[in-house]
Amino acid sequence: MDEVTEFLKKNPVQYLATIGLDGKPKNRPFMFCLEKEGKLWFCTNSKKDVYAQLQKNPYVEITVSSSENRWIRLSGKAVFENNMDVKKSCMSYSLIKSLYKTADNPIFEVFYIGDAKAVISDFSGNPPKEYTL
């Protein structure tokens, strides 16, 4: 878990892939919030298309590469939870605070990746590192 969390922290803009409401793949920049309670947490807004997509089909894949030519693929199921401790922790990010103002904002949603699997790879020829989280 530590290596996955550190990789996401060091590469703050990831790409989240979902299945759109039209049944076609959608991909957009996203940001990892934090690891808490052994879960990888992200946030969004209940008015966004991505929220509706995740409600209909919660399976996602997140990827990002580093400047050292390494990359991670994180897949699993987006599990929404009204976890006020996590929401308050997310408010430590100035961008999130500027968007939602308070942890109890009714459109502010947090989710973790359930049944998560992560693979960290590079171009070294070494086998990828695989994690079940």
Q: What confidence tens digit (pLDDT) does each residue in 84-94 have?
A: 999 999 999 99
What CATH number is attached to the domain comprising 56? Answer: 2.30.110.10
Quick one: average pLDDT of 9-38?
Answer: 96
The upper half-sphere exposure of residue 112, i.e. CA atoms within 13 Å in the direction of its Cβ, equals 18
User: With helix as H, strand as E and coil as C, how does the chain read?
Assistant: CHHHHHHHHHCCEEEEEEECCCCCEEEEEEEEEEEECCEEEEEEECCCHHHHHHHHCCEEEEEEECCCCEEEEEEEEEEECCCHHHHHHHCCCHHHHHHHCCCCCCCEEEEEEEEEEEEEEECCCCCCEEEEC
- Which residues constitute the domain of residue 108? 2-132
pLDDT digits (tens, 9 = 90+) for 51-92: 999 999 999 999 999 999 999 999 999 999 999 999 999 999
pLDDT value for 131: 97
Strand 25-36 relative to strand 59-65: parallel, antiparallel, unpaired? unpaired
Burial of 36 (0-12, 13-18, 19+ CB in 10 A): middle
Give the total number of structural domains in the chain: 1
pTM confidence score: 0.95
